[in-house]
């Protein structure tokens, strides 16, 4: 289920393919192809019946299972402020903008069909909805207010601009409070989701849709935790250090 390399065979069924890699579920959902209990026909036959290009579907499935490795040796603390902020926006913010609504829709569909069997799904849906309400305003605030301010003071400090101290005293945003308070709420919600889902673990005999939902939630959790780490443990100390340096100039 979790990212084992394999070749997309047109004789495999959607259910077989999704069972091997949950990320392919998004592709089948895009084309309206069932991949759970009913997705037993080979994708070649399914495409012929539904008038879908099997070549195009195969290309998209192969793109979905392609894993882009990120080295553990990346030295994030050494990155300059601008590059670090660009990375957070273009990697983590963009991921959340795409993945969070998709995961929410996937969960809603699953809840409609399985709420009676798994009563805790209603609470899970509420928590994921809460996460959505927390994440998007936080990203907007970061991109429109917090990040521009951090860039501004970093450039002023680097260039030893005479207005740098005035910039901090008049335009300073509560960097520490903004990051810590927002992160605390997000982390609490993620921890609640982990508890509700038993750390995203599933019984061996659950359906493919159940496994896909849990895998998507786990992926979201992993990305968000790294996102928060970059902001809280690397970007925040850098910003505070720059503020301190400027005020001592």
User: Over the stretch 102-139, which tens digit does the pLDDT of each residue have?
Assistant: 999 999 989 988 888 898 999 999 999 999 999 999 99
Give the pLDDT confidence score for residue 85 in this predicted structure: 97
User: Is pLDDT of 236 > 70?
Assistant: yes
Least confident span in 52-61, 168-177, 224-233: 168-177
Across the range 64-77, mean pLDDT stands at: 80
How high is the mean pLDDT of the chain? Answer: 87
> What does the domain layout of the chain look like in residue ranges?
14-64, 76-247
Least confidently predicted of 85-89, 166-170, 217-221, 232-236: 166-170
- CA–CA gap between residue 190 and residue 139 (Å, rounded): 17
Total Cβ atoms within 10 A of residue 160 = 9
Opening angle at CA 35, ends 32 and 39, nearest 5: 100
């Amino acid at each position: 289920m979790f990212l084992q390399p394999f070749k997309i065979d047109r004789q495999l069924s959607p259910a077989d393919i999704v069972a091997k890699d949950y990320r392919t579920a998004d592709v089948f959902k895009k084309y309206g192809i069932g991949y759970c209990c009913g997705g037993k026909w080979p994708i070649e036959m399914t495409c012929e019946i539904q008038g879908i290009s099997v070549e195009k579907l195969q290309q998209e499935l192969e793109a979905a299972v392609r894993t882009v490795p990120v080295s553990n040796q990346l030295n994030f603390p050494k990155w300059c402020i601008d590059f670090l902020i660009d990375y957070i926006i273009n990697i983590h913010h963009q991921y959340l903008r795409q993945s969070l609504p998709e995961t929410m829709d996937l969960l809603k569909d699953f809840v409609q069909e399985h709420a009676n069997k798994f009563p805790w799904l209603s609470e899970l849906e509420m928590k994921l909805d809460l996460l959505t309400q927390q994440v998007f305003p936080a990203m907007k605030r970061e991109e429109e207010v917090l990040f521009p301010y951090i860039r501004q003071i970093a450039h002023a400090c680097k260039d030893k601009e005479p207005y740098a101290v005035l910039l901090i005293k008049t335009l300073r945003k509560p960097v520490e409070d903004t990051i810590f308070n927002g992160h605390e709420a997000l982390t609490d919600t993620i921890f609640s989701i982990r508890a509700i889902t038993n750390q995203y673990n599933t019984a061996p005999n659950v359906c493919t849709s159940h496994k896909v939902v849990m895998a998507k939630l786990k992926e979201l959790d992993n990305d968000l935790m790294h996102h928060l780490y970059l902001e809280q443990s690397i970007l925040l100390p850098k910003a505070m250090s720059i503020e301190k340096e400027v005020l001592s100039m």
